[in-house]
Amino acid sequence: MVMTVIQVAKKRKMPNLKAQSIDRNACAMTKATNHGIEESLMDAMMSVSREFFRQPAEEKQKCSNLADGNGKDYQVEGYGSDKVVSEDQVLNWSDRLQLEVDPEDERNLAKWRRHPESFRVFLQGCAQEYASRTKKIRDLVLRSIDKLLKIEEDYFVNQISNKASGFARFNYYPPCPRPDLVLGLMPHSDSGLLTILFNNDNVGGLQVQRDGRWYNVPTKPHTLLINLAD
């Protein structure tokens, strides 16, 4: 399978994407280059996320997604793993931190850790800039789909409320003694409208399914993956 690659922009002032950039028959995951997000900002995001996950467990648990500590009061935001719904449930072999970044006035700052100090400083500054850039990319992609489908301009963009939720999710996959028995993330489809994924340049493993077959997604430094969600 050949994954579609789109060049979003070569300048900060992003031009409209050409509709032909997105193949009508391509899978729903696309690689984006020249997307307007500085490499230094992407590197800072990766660095600060590593710093968070390297903390002792007791520090990370201070922003747990289990509000009551017994697993019954699960929250979308915070640090931890997936919601446990049954005793025989197989969990992903991963830790994650999920934070709501939009709308800005609905951020739960109790989950925005003060330690390490660089993490909160980054979230309050650079994360907002990153969120702003990814929203521009989102809108450009949606406008390209408008053109591809030959429907009115901004049809999809206009469906998005000013209070629409936007989440930043940081995934960490710790070493596993039996990697042959687990998956970092189980087969799934993303919820919502659009996922813009920035993965570790040196770590592969992500796969996408098409026509019942799984394909490896190659990694490339500072490239974004755009996934159309449910």
Q: Which of 15-19, 64-68, 136-140 has the highest mean pLDDT?
A: 136-140
Alpha carbon distance 229, 192 (integer Å):
6
Beta sheet of 29-33, edge-to-edge order? 5-7, 29-33, 224-228, 194-198
Q: Determine which of 54-63, 124-133, 155-164 has the lowest per-residue pLDDT on average.
A: 124-133
Instruction: Answer whether the bond into residue 116 is a cis peptide, omega within 30°.
Output: yes
DSSP code at position 113: -
Query: Does 126 or 141 have the greater pLDDT score?
Result: 141
Whether residue 218 is predicted with pLDDT greater than 70 in this model: the reply is yes
Q: Dump pLDDT digits (tens) for 98-125.
A: 888 887 777 776 666 655 666 777 777 7
- In order of 20, 95, 104, 201, the CA distances from 198 in angstroms are 24, 17, 21, 9
Q: What is the mean pLDDT of residues 2-21?
A: 53
The DSSP secondary structure of 127-167, one letter per residue, reads HHHHHHHHHHHHHHHHHHHHHHHT--TTTTGGGS-TT--EE
Domains of the chain: 5-228 (2.60.120.330)
Average pLDDT, the chain: 79
The pLDDT score that the predictor gives to residue 1 is 56
